[in-house]
Amino acid sequence: MLTPAAMLVLAAPFAIAQESQTPAPAAVDAVKGLSEWDKVYAVFSHPRCADCHVADDRPRWSGAHYGGTRVHAFNVQRGADGSGFGNPGLRCTTCHFSSNSNALHGPPGAENWHLAPAEMAWFGRSSAEICAQIKDPLRNGNRSLKDIALHVRDDRLVAWGWAPGSGREPAPGSAEATYQAIENWAAAGASCPVAQ
Amino acid sequence: MRLTVDGQSFDIDADPDMPLLWALRDLIGKTGPKFGCGIAACGACTVHVDGQPVRSCSLPVGQVSGAVTTIEGIGAAGKLHPVQQAWLEEQVAQCGYCQAGQIMSAVALLDEVADPSDADIDNAMGGNLCRCGTYPRIRSAIKKAAALKTAGL
C-alpha cells in the first residue's frame, strides 16, 4: 500500500503534465475569438451583405429564383463617379425605395440604397481575406473595430440584410447578435483564420 | 395627401402603399406614364421626383417627398422638350408603349450629362426595355437631343 506521501509524489508528474497541457489564456481567447469571427463571417459573406460589396462595380442577385448568383440586370453599376449610387439616368434609387416591394420579384428597399465603397469589396473572398480586410482601415472605411460593430448594429441599410422581404433568405442571426460577435471577437484579440 | 405633379398641386385620397403610378393614372388622370411590368423591371412607368428618375409602379405614393414630373410635364405648351423633339425627328417610336419611360430616363441623363457618350447612354438606359428594339434610334435621338439642348433649341 502506498503512503499518502508516496501517492503525492507519484501524482505530481501527472499534475504537472496536466498543467502543461492547459492552453495559455491568450490561446483560449484566440479559439474563442475565431469562433466569434466565424459568426461575423457567416453574415458578411452572406448574399444579403456580400452582393453589394463587389469589386467589379456590378451588384449581384442571389436566390433560389435566380438559380444561383448572377450579375444584377439592367446594366446597373457603381456609377461613373464612383459613388456607389449608380449612373445619371439610372440610380440605385430609381428602383430601390425605402421599403421592400411586396410584389414577387419587386425591388427590395431600404433607405440610402447603394453599393459599398470599392475598397470595401469582399464578394467571393475567403474568411481569412475578409478578416484581414475588416481590420485594415484602408479597406474598411477607416473604421475601428468598435466603429464596425456599431455600423453593423445601427446602419439602416445594413439592417435590411436581416429583413430583406419575402422570398429572400435573410442574413444569419441579427444585427444585435452580429454586433456582439464583433465585440467578442475584438475583445478576444481579433485573431483571423489562417489563409488556406 | 397632397402631390405636386407637373407643376400642379393635387389632393388625393390614397393608401400610402398605393404605387405612385396608380395615383397618377387613376386618381389624377395622368395617363402618360405606362404600366409595363409592375416590378420596376421595364421602365415604362418612369417619372421624375425632384428631377431624379423613379419607377412609379413600385414607389409607394406615401414615400413621395418631392415634386413629380411626368412625360406630360416636360414640354411647355407649344414647345416640345429637346428630347421629345429629337424623338420625333429620329422617328424613334414603333409601338410607342415604352417611349414615355425612355424619354424620361433620357431627360434625366441629359440633365446631368450634357454630351453623353455611348457608354453614358448605355449606363442610363439599361433599365428601359423596348420590345420593338428601337435602341439604335433611341441612341441617335439622345445624341440629337443633346445637341438641340446645348444649342438652346
Convert the pLDDT of each residue in A59-92 to its tens digit.
Answer: 999 987 777 899 999 999 999 999 999 999 999 9
pLDDT per residue as tens digits for the range A145-182: 999 999 999 999 999 999 999 889 999 999 999 999 99
Ranges of beta strands (E only) in A20-98 are 60-61, 70-71, 86-87, 90-91
Chain B hits for A91, Cβ within 8 Å: 52-53
The domains of chain A are located at 26-187
Chain A hits for B124, Cβ within 8 Å: 87-90
**Closest Cα of chain B to A156: distance in Å?**
16
Chain B's closest residue to A79, CA to CA, is B123
Chain B hits for A111, Cβ within 8 Å: none
**Closest Cα of chain B to A155: distance in Å?**
20
Q: Mean pLDDT over residues A37-42, rounded?
A: 98
Which DSSP state fits B62?
Answer: G
Q: Do B105 and A89 touch (CB under 8 A)?
A: yes
Chain A hits for B55, Cβ within 8 Å: 94-95, 107
CA atoms within 13 A on the CB side of A135: 14
Chain A hits for B126, Cβ within 8 Å: 74-76, 90
Residues 56-115, chain B, touching A (beta carbon < 8 A):
58-60, 63, 105-106, 108-109, 111-113
Which DSSP state fits A17?
Answer: H
Q: Do A74 and B63 touch (CB under 8 A)?
A: no
Answer whether A143's CB lies under 8 Å from A137's CB.
Answer: yes
Q: Which three cell numbers stand for residue A55?
A: 469589386
Q: What is the pLDDT along chain B (153 residues), one digit of tens a residue?
A: 999 999 999 999 999 999 999 999 999 999 999 999 999 999 999 999 999 999 999 999 999 999 999 999 999 878 999 999 999 999 999 999 999 999 999 999 999 999 999 999 999 999 999 999 999 999 999 999 999 999 986
Domains, chain B: 2-73 (3.10.20.30), 82-150 (1.10.150.120)
- ipTM here: 0.96
Mean pLDDT of the residues in chain A = 88
Strand partners, B5: B8, B68
Q: Do B125 and A106 touch (CB under 8 A)?
A: no
Write down the pTM of the prediction.
Answer: 0.89
Chain B's closest residue to A103, CA to CA, is B39
Of A6-10, A38-42, B20-24, the least confident: A6-10
Give me the DSSP letters along A98-134: SS---STTPPP--TT--PPPGGG--TT--HHHHHHHH
Mutate to test the interface with B, among A94, A99, A113, A168 (most CBs of B within 10 A): A94
Q: B39 and chain A: CB distance < 8 Å anywhere?
A: yes
pLDDT of amino acid A14 = 38
Chain A hits for B123, Cβ within 8 Å: 75, 77, 80, 87-90
Q: Do B120 and A87 touch (CB under 8 A)?
A: yes
Element containing residue A176 per DSSP (H, E): helix A175-187
Answer whether A103's CB lies under 8 Å from B39's CB.
Answer: yes
Q: What is the CA radius of gyration of chain A?
A: 23
Handedness of CA B67, B73, B76, B81 (dihedral sign): positive
Nearest to B45 by CA among B126, B111, B90, B103: B103
Which DSSP state fits B138?
Answer: H
Chain A hits for B41, Cβ within 8 Å: 73-74, 105
pLDDT of amino acid B153 = 67
